[in-house]
Structure 1
Amino acid sequence: MVLDALLRPDDFFAERAPELSLGRAAAVVLVVALVTTLAVGAFGWTLGQQLTATTEIPNEERPPDWICENEADSDAEEMIQEDCDEPKQKTVVVGDLLWDTFSEFLPLVFVSGLVVWPLTAVGLHVASAMVGGQGSFTDTLAVTAWGMIPSAIQVIVGVAFLYAAFGSIDLAASNPEALAPQIQSMVERARGDTVLLSLAGAVWQGYVWSFGLKHTRDLSTGGAAFAGGGVALVVFLLGLA
């Protein structure tokens, strides 16, 4: 079924439209969001495990200097100053800091994957209405969901490009400052590959959305391509911003 929707969307939607299953569509969106989040999380965790260099950061367990420099006049102040013997700086592994950042970012990745579904559906519904489309918004939601599958594939392949780019870097380098420009250079090189990948993903999405709109919104192939392809182009350009 999934391959039919991605590779033969004309036949797929012709057999099922109108009144596409919104439940299946919601399941597709949920899977896409989960796969995207897992792919990004797996990359962050693996990269964090390889970044074994250390750096110094402020020790948050030590009270501020203005507390430690004053004489304690009460038992409460003595309790506050108990940790003043802790060092001002502590040594941490760079990979641990990276993973902390990734782990805070992952919920946003998952939620955004869900939020983008109805927003994109609104765009497709309006664009198709501009060329004379008729039909329920529920069907447009379903079409939108099936067209989001290429985005998950795009993320997986994009992560693979990043893995390949980082393969030429000694991630166990002892000097994080020397490591930073190398990582930036590799990310920029990989970004060139992922822009082409994003474009391919947008074309694929537009292909699925176009035939979905054709059958659910009662449009000509040209009108559906205008609506589906136009929204896919907007999504692609927003992704570059």
Structure 2
Amino acid sequence: MPSPLAALASLPGSVLDRVRDAFDSPRAGAVAVAMLVIVTVGTSVGLVALGAVFDATVDQQITVDNPDRPSESTCEAFGDDPDPLIGEQCDEPEQVEVDAGSELRDAANGYIHYGLLGVPIWWVAFALALHVGALVAGGSGSVGDSFVIAGWAIGAELLRLGAGIAAIWYTLSHATITGSTFEALTADLTAAITSATGPLLIVSAVGIAIQWIVVVGGLEAEHDLGRGVAAGVATFFAAIALLIAAV
């Protein structure tokens, strides 16, 4: 009977075997496309959720320039114009107080299109880079095979996104936000979110480890690379991802 330590030691190899065999499925390409769609939509929803987190946790009024008032130079030049519209607008105060949480929510919602475009761009870039790495290592798969591997690997990004939003919610819920200007508010938010860097880095490492397993199994199945060579290629990209996450 094998010892518990021996069983534990064989676990990584067993997981890699399962992942490699999964890539041999005729549905591997469909799974990659489905994963891409899920992560793309999930990222956009995550940005909306992030905005909701800001709105729920940041209860602070800040002073900003009044968007309804023309610039000072315009008011000086046309403030006495008989047109009542310009005169009325110039009578508005130069600065107004707004709810910081609502402003941050609107700002986050304004980045939804980056989620819709950014994820597919990341997928294409990673697939092409992975294909080059596989070819350098002696792989025999096609570009399409590399896109399938990248599509599977991208799924781990949902883990990082969800953990990031949860960490920001928890951090801001327990932070004291006192800034009354946009600059001061930004400093408060940055200081609060920075305190969660450690846990977020751990979650990123877990996500990257999952992607490493997927890439190793995919390179074995799709590019006919040996496990050691596939692990070397995957480790190269994992190291880059970890460095980016740590910045």
TM-score by length of 2: 0.82
Equivalenced residues, count: 233
Match of 1:52, SS state, is coil
Cα 1:149/1:70, change in 2 over 3 Å: closer
2:107 match: secondary structure? helix
Instruction: Work out whether residues 127 and 231 of structure 1, in 8 Å CA contact, stay in contact via their aligned partners in 2.
Output: no
Q: What are the Cα deviations for residues 121-145 of structure 1, in whole angstroms up to 9, with x where unaligned? A: 1111111111211011111111111
Kindly indicate whether residue 29 of structure 2 is the aligned counterpart of residue 14 of structure 1.
no
Residues 206, 134 of structure 1: alpha-carbon distance in 2 compared, 3 angstrom cutoff: same
Q: Deviations over 1:32-77 (max 9, x none)?
A: 12223322321221222332221221112112233333467865x5
CA distance in 1 between counterparts of 2:184 and 2:88 reads 37
1:18, 1:215 within 8 Å by CA — same for their partners in 2?
no
Cα distance change, pair 16–46 in 1 and its aligned pair in 2 (3 A): closer
Report the AA paired with residue 190 of structure 2.
Q
Contact 2:127 2:147 in 1 (8 A): yes
Aligned equivalents of 2:215 and 2:70: distance in 1?
57
2:200 maps to 1:194 = yes
Taking a change above 3 Å as real, the CA distance of residues 229 and 62 of structure 1, as seen in their structure-2 partners, is: same
- Aligned sequence identity (%): 24
**Pair 1:115-2:121 in alignment:** yes
Quick one: which of 72, 92, 106 aligns to 1:65? 72
Contact 2:23 2:218 in 1 (8 A): no
Match of 1:84 among 86, 90, 112: 90
Provide the C-alpha distance between the structure 2 equivalents of 1:73 and 1:166, rounded to a whole number of angstroms. 47
Q: Structure 1: how far apart are the matches of 2:26 and 2:225?
A: 16
Residues 1:186 and 1:206: Cα distance change in structure 2 (over 3 Å): same
CA distance in 1, matches of 2:65, 2:185: 21
Q: Report SS of the residue matched to 1:147.
A: helix
Residue identity in the other structure for 1:197 = V
Given the superposition, is the C-alpha separation of residues 16 and 174 from structure 1 closer, same or farther in structure 2, using an over 3 Å criterion? closer
**Is the contact between residue 154 and residue 211 of structure 2 (CA under 8 Å) also seen in structure 1?**
yes
* C-alpha distance in 1 between matches for 2:179 and 2:231: 53
Q: Which of 31, 36, 42 matches 1:29?
A: 36
1:50 to 1:186, Cα distance in 2 relative to 1, 3 A: closer
- 1:117-196 aligned at under 5 Å gives the runs 117-170=123-176, 182-196=188-202
Distance 2:150 2:85 in 1: 59
Alignment-derived partner of residue 105 in structure 2: 99
Q: Structure 1's 87 and 13: CA in aligned 2 closer, same or farther, altered over 3 A?
A: same
8 Å CA contact 2:39–2:154 kept in 1: the answer is yes
1:73 and 1:186 mapped to 2: Cα distance? 47
Compare 36-45 and 206-215 and name the one that shifted more: 36-45
Give the residue type in structure 1 aligned to 2:209. V
Dislocated runs of 4+, deviation >6 Å? 71-74, 176-179
Whether the 8 Å contact between 1:158 and 1:194 is mirrored in structure 2 is yes
Kindly report the root-mean-square deviation, in angstroms, between the aligned alpha carbons of the 2 structures: 2.7
Contact 1:150/1:204 (CA < 8 Å) preserved in 2? yes
Task: Give the unaligned 5+ runs of structure 2.
Answer: 1-13
CA distance in 1, matches of 2:107, 2:216: 38
Q: Secondary structure at the match of 1:55?
A: strand
Task: Give the corresponding residue for 1:3.
Answer: none
User: In the alignment, does 2:247 pair up with 1:235?
Assistant: no
Q: For residues 187-225 of structure 1, what are the alpha-carbon distances to aligned partners after superposition, in whole Å with 9 as ceiling and x for unaligned?
A: 111012111221221121111110111011011100111
2:152 and 2:214 in contact (8 A); partners too = yes
